[in-house]
Structure 1
Amino acid sequence: MPHFKDVIAATLPKGIVLPPAFAQAIDWLEAAGYVFEDKYVALTPPDKSRSIILQFEPVSQGHVAAWLGTDDPAFTNRLAPIIRTGGDGSYAALWRADDGTLSIVHMGSGSGSIMMQTLVENPVDMLRLMAIGYSELCWPENFSITPAEEHAELVAAIGIENAPVYRAPNEFRRFVEKTFAVSVPQRAIDITGNVMEMDDPFQRWLQTVQEG
């Protein structure tokens, strides 16, 4: 049976390769037993009560084409959504820029999250962002509060009785910090900055796709 990183790598479009840092993370998560039905790999044990939705998944090129509004490979081959960021169907994706460099961008579902721009410039920063412990990463308005504060606000807003206890991905955080010799902050904004206020190359590229 192939390793899950190979399952994901096999779905990447031509011209995009799985970053070594992502491969290491997926290997670690797989070894920890966090693969669910060979469909995705989670940051915590994949049970029904888990509070963190973030997960690595194979790429669906059909989803890419539908999201971009075109099946032209000149566009679809530059985008590879491999990290689910929200229950609304949002993803973080590898994006190949005009000069061939890869960054990690956010593909908001449109029906929920409308964040459609660069999240981070490199894979290690994406792993740091994931390791902070947000239940979802599709809501930039929550990037200035901690995951625990986000969870408490959500529980209070929807009035859930006996809501699942928030479970931070502490083991994954330790793996990221030790493996890549980095620190993981308490809030996403310390990595991303105010993403919704930035002049963004991914947004400019999306404009060319629409004009296309």
Structure 2
Amino acid sequence: MFCKEMSFTDEMASEFPERNPLPGVLREALHFMEEHGCVRTRRDGVRYMTLYPKPEHSDLARTGFFIPDPADTARWTKSDDPEVNDRLAIFLRTGSDGSWAGLWRDNNGQQRIVHLGSGSGSVMLCVLTENIEDLLRLLAIGYDEHCWPDQFELTPDEVREDEYDDDDYPPPPQLFQHYVKDILGLSIPARGSEVVVKTVSMDESESDDDFWNWLTRLYD
């Protein structure tokens, strides 16, 4: 009997921990983008979502949404305790170096977006945005990657001009910008630093960043 494949958005939502569920604002944004053809399938069968409905742009872009895998969380926390791992769902690739962002439930029960640098490229390890709305605003700015804190001081055009050939940098994600600005009614800043106020390196010896402290203390 033929079984219809679950939508990417529904599958993604089903894989978030019950105690750290996919927020409704993000789910609605993903559903909108999926309806407009932004889901892709890799050769190995893994599905993911980009910010672009056109393949010629999405194949170039490095930021993308993926269905969270509990094994990825366990590799970061170095723990098999569900009480620990249910607090972190890693779902957003932020760079080609292997950096990711995730949804973290802090000690007060608040859901925040956190960044987990690869260590071999980006070393940013901290709270990235305080809420989902700010994550959507950050993504709408138009950076190709979101793992390099120095780039947040520049506009995407400035990043492209300084560090890339024109053919290596995707255009602004106009469909996503339309959703954030016209449907959600949120402003889109010119630079990431207007949303990401402070970043922290995993190489620091101490920090006042909540996520940095939570994760590093798991290693003690």
> What is the TM-score normalised by the length of structure 1?
0.90
User: Structure 2: how far apart are the matches of 1:166 and 1:55?
Assistant: 13
Q: Are 1:2 and 2:19 an aligned pair? A: no
Can you list the C-alpha shifts for 1:13-44, whole angstroms capped at 9, x where unaligned? 23111111111110111111010026111001
The answer to whether the Cα contact below 8 Å between 2:57 and 2:170 also exists between their aligned partners in 1 is: no
Distance 2:127 2:147 in 1: 12
Cross-structure match for 2:127 = 118
Cα distance in 1, alignment partners of residues 182 and 57 from structure 2:
28
Tell me what 1:54 maps to: 63
Task: List per-residue Cα deviations over 1:50-95 (Å, max 9, x = no partner).
Answer: 4432211100211111122223322221110111111111111000
In the alignment, which of 30, 34, 57 is matched to residue 26 of structure 1?
30
2:77 to 49, 68, 74: 68
1:144 aligns with 2:144: no
> Where do residues 28-107 of structure 1 align in structure 2 (5 Å cutoff)?
28-37=32-41, 39-45=47-53, 47=55, 50=58, 51-107=60-116
Could you tell me how far 1:210 is from its partner in structure 2? Answer: 1.1
Corresponding residue to 1:192 among 189, 193, 196: 196
1:180 and 2:184 matched: yes
Alignment: residue pair count: 206
Q: Runs of 5+ in structure 1 lacking a partner? A: none
Quick check: 66-75 or 45-54, which moved more? Answer: 45-54
Q: Which runs of 5+ in 2 are unaligned?
A: 202-206
**TM-score of the pair, normalised by structure 2:** 0.86
Give the aligned CA root-mean-square deviation in angstroms: 1.9
Question: Secondary structure at the residue paired with 1:143?
Answer: helix
What is the Cα deviation at residue 177 of structure 1? 1.0
Report sequence identity in percent. Answer: 35
Q: Which runs of 4+ in 1 moved over 6 A?
A: none
Partner Cα distance (1:46, 1:209) in 2: 42
Report how far residue 125 of structure 1 moved.
Answer: 0.6
